[in-house]
Amino acid sequence: MYFGSVRFFKHLILTVIALLIITPTVLCIVLVGDNIKKADEISRLTSASQESSYSDSENSGALPQDGSSGENSSQESSDSNTENSSDSTASTSEQSGSSDIESSPEQTSSASESQTPATSEPQPDSSDPAQSQTDQSDPQSRPDSSGTSTEAPDYTALYPDLYADKYDGEYINDDNTVYLTFDDGPSVLTENIMYYLKQEGVTATFFVVPEDTEFCRSLLKKIHDAGYSIGIHSSSHDYDKIYGSVTDFLDDFYAAYKIVYEATGERPSIYRFPGGSVNDWNTDTREAIIKEMSRRGFEYFDWNVDSNDWQGYGWTQLYNNVTSDACELSTPVILFHDTGARENTVLVLEDIIAALKANGYSFGSLSQKAEPVHF
């Protein structure tokens, strides 16, 4: 009799061994094929992006921006290291429930007509709320609570068109909403990121470090026209330059703000501090910067989930970093980077989105109507 015989058990053992070998082999082949497909797609999109940038540079005489080189890329490791270390501070600050600085309700005026701005400025329309804010009384002399006239800092008169329409309503209901955010772009990978966002039908926020080139302006317009939010990250990404004083911060911020406005026709009202709002460079200037930016109507956003993609992790590590941390939160604000060296961010993006959807999350873009995450 075959069943129960030595030959039966021999065949059974051989079958089990074969399944243990064949099954993982097939799974590996499927995963490798999927990654090869994604890599080919990235290569195709990157080639198309580079051809587009080459064409733009020929027409305009400007060199295309390469997110994998230059100031943005060289600063990224330092930036992200500071951002990563700031996470521990974030939990403490959020639990305290108190804001770091009280925002002034005043929206004060521009400098006197005789003062000439340091750089050319986009002129707001007469209907622009920012313009009406600049028509108020002179910020250089205003009474304090005792009725005594006090002198406002000189920087309050800088950049009279650098104001946002401050949102004072209730925050939108954002439970179970994911906010994907990408710092340091635009880059040669921006269109790749947008491709997967569109494919998955989700939105995101780009905190940009724009360059004054036609290639960068074209990408900013594509981000804007696709319906994604744009916030200011910085212009130089040079911490020593940005955080030296409030004036230094405004100079750097305005340079980026102007490029975004000219490229998109929209005035950004949100921003993210390079290195996060708590870092080793802004210890002496942080509160004054936040107060002045709040007075001008701007809101800043930190994050509560760090992909750590700046460390060059592969697909598995990035996927585990994001999904494990995000699923512990009702409103994850996830930090990614949009530079030419972050191909793995593009590779894993589709799978992260699918995993978060499976956990019941929807996706949103940051604006002043979303409750900000502050360290």
The CA-atom distances, in angstroms, between 94 and each of 38, 80, 100, 287, 367 are 38, 20, 10, 16, 19
Residue at 258 is within a domain = yes
Residue at 293 is within a domain = yes
Q: Looking at the 3D structure of the chain, how many domains does it have?
A: 1
Residue at 76 is within a domain = yes
Q: What is the pLDDT of residue 103?
A: 37
CA-CA distance, 358 to 348, in Å (whole number)?
16
pLDDT winner (highest mean) among 64-68, 115-119, 170-174, 241-245: 241-245
Residue at 120 is within a domain = no
Containing structural domain, residue 276: 60-93+172-363
pLDDT winner (highest mean) among 11-20, 48-57, 364-373: 364-373
CA-CA distance, 170 to 371, in Å (whole number)?
9
Residue at 242 is within a domain = yes
Which range among 40-44, 117-121, 257-261 shows the weakest confidence by mean pLDDT?
117-121
Beta bridge partners of 151: 141
Q: pLDDT > 90: what percent of the chain?
A: 58
Question: At 201, which CATH number?
Answer: 3.20.20.370
pLDDT greater at residue 248 or residue 24: 248
* Mean pLDDT, rounded, for 187-210: 98
Q: What angle do CA 237, 238, 244 make, to 5 degrees?
A: 125
Among residues 103, 67, 333, 37, which one has the least CA distance to residue 205? 333
- Measured torsion, CA atoms of residues 47, 343, 319, 328, in degrees rounded to the nearest 10: -100
Band (pLDDT 50/70/90 cuts) for residue 3 is low
Enumerate the H helices of the chain as residue ranges: 6-60, 70-96, 129-134, 190-200, 214-225, 239-242, 246-264, 286-295, 315-326, 343-358
Flag whether pLDDT at 370 surpasses 90: yes
Residue at 201 is within a domain = yes
Residue at 298 is within a domain = yes
Residue at 122 is within a domain = no
